[in-house]
Amino acid sequence: MGKVACVMVVMEYLKISGQLLNAKIKGGGVNKCHIMQPSHLRFTIHGLWPANKSSSSSLNCMGDAFNVNEMDDALKKDLLSSWWDWKDGNHVEFWQREYDKHGKCSDNVFPKSKYFRKTLATYRDFDIAQILQKANIVPQPLQPKMSLYKLYSIDQITKAIESETGGHSVNIRCYQQEQKKSKKSKKGSNLLIFLAQVALCYDESGNNRIDCDPGQTTSCKFNGGDPETAPSIAHIKLW
């Protein structure tokens, strides 16, 4: 009988990730959505991810599986106010996936319900949508051509957030979409880059902000260029 080697992953810090609530699905399907206006700009929870310096996150650790019946009604109500599966509407399954994939890796510090309460607490530390609106970074309706968009650089977005969250670096994730060209359109890139997700990092206690790894900002390059100068659109888009 073969031997099974188990590796203990050491949690060194936590990353709270908020995703941009960006579409109301009408009748189901990714392509049937209503783009929200700026007054609806909001980030909801994607997850709280234990991580260490050698990798961006710790995944699928050993531990007890998620059980929604172990949550009290007050906690479930709190989660439903901020942690949504806005794509499919399967909120409890979303919590389960996040806990089984990430949460178990912090089980020695935040077992079960404590993990979800810590997630809510760190999420509520900062209102990212309000911070962006304060910096006049707001969503826009879909436009027929790229030249009609107001563009925001990655640097603008990150500096706006970092100026309000203690100066520590953050991670952002972008969604890229190729825009269809008309026959009359000029040559050039028609790649649209949408802001999709913002992550803040904390120490292993979950109480103190720290710098995120700048290498974890993803999908925000424009034509292979430097992400620091890449034009990005703070427009709400389902991804």
Among residues of the chain, what percentage have pLDDT more than 90? 18
State residue 24's pLDDT score.
34
- Per-residue pLDDT tens for 162-206? 999 899 999 888 776 665 554 444 444 556 667 778 899 998 888
Structure confidence at residue 41 as a pLDDT band (50, 70, 90)? low
17 vs 220, more confident: 17
Closest CA to 61 of 122, 114, 111: 111
Neighbours of 1 (CB within 10 A): 3
The lowest-confidence range among 185-189, 205-209, 226-230 is: 226-230
- Domains defined for the chain, CATH in brackets: 13-232 (3.90.730.10)
Residues 225, 51, 59, 71: is their CA dihedral positive or negative? Answer: negative
Inform me whether the pLDDT recorded for 234 exceeds 60: no
- Per-residue pLDDT tens for 67-108? 888 899 999 999 998 998 877 788 999 999 999 888 888 888
33 vs 233, more confident: 233
State residue 74's pLDDT score.
95
- Cα of 203 vs its chain's centroid, Å: 18
Closest CA to 165 of 103, 210, 221: 210
Is residue 66 within 8 A of residue 95, CB to CB? The reply is yes
Structure confidence at residue 144 as a pLDDT band (50, 70, 90)? low
Inform me whether the pLDDT recorded for 25 exceeds 70: no
State residue 227's pLDDT score.
39
State residue 146's pLDDT score.
61
Structure confidence at residue 26 as a pLDDT band (50, 70, 90)? very low
Q: How far apart are CA 189 and CA 43, in angstroms?
A: 29
145 vs 82, more confident: 82
**Burial status of residue 221 (CB atoms within 10 A of its CB: 0-12, 13-18, 19 or more):** middle
